[in-house]
Structure 1
């Protein structure tokens, strides 16, 4: 069973940008916490690290 956890940067139940993360074998799963039965992204560890770095640098329009 996959154990998902809400990002510490999510603002609460009414936050429009809530994500959950889970360890998946060699990488990380990312999903919308408002749609836990919906699709999720499977990212390798390196790709996930790159995504986090780009978010921190403000390179993405979130």
Structure 2
């Protein structure tokens, strides 16, 4: 079992909280770098949320 699989298993049922954590971490990086890498950070946030299954909108279905 890979590390990502273990993380997904731990996050099961807490996807919203994980998504908020990813957003908060990205915002902190943007703040510390004064937005210099905002595009890269946003891309990383989106990909991480997709991998963790936290890329859901308010209504619940995954984003396309």
> Which one has more relative contact order, counting CA pairs under 8 Å at least 6 apart?
2
Higher helix share: 2
Rg (Cα) greater in structure: 2
Q: Same fold (TM over 0.5)?
A: no
Higher strand share: 1
The TM-score normalised by the length of structure 2 is: 0.30
The TM-score normalised by the length of structure 1 is: 0.31
